[in-house]
Structure 1
């Protein structure tokens, strides 16, 4: 008994010799500029929301209080203040100290306000 002949495998068609660049579709109004986006979508470039507004973080208070564990807090400032507290009472004291530091730190209060005081 002989095996049946195998069917021929399909071959891929050959690609064109040179790739052609995409051409913009002609506009219905006849103007030379192609349509950039769909209707109703603004095509104007909007300002970058990440531009520098002159504001930056000077001090940071990080409080961690997981359920059933000891709360901790860390207070840091660009002036060099870097404090850590662990435990309920010490964390509350550090929060008050951090709030008081905001009124005395030279980086928080502008020069005019310090001169007026």
Structure 2
């Protein structure tokens, strides 16, 4: 079943939050974990805001923020995957799944931006 983007972006934020519970509590990890939590939750929040855009241009601008935040989330997932040194394949598999999800969200949002831009022409 294909989830709508509102639900999918919210699930992405929640899944990233749940993932972050697995990392050690240290100054170094906390910096990246906090960034991931912020950017992943921003994906859903800004997607919701885009749905209330006042114009097509406003809609596009808000979707660009979603694109940036999803890409930033992917970056921090990659960093954490490279740093994670515990032998827990379940956590690593979840990180890889979330990297894939972040990439898919970016692709969907870019396609939506392009579609909206074509409507402006």
TM-score by length of 1: 0.28
Structure (1/2) with the larger helix percentage: 2
Structure (1/2) with the larger strand percentage: 1
Larger Rg over CA atoms: 1
Which fold has the larger relative contact order, with Cα–Cα distance below 8 Å and residues 6 or more apart in sequence?
A: 2
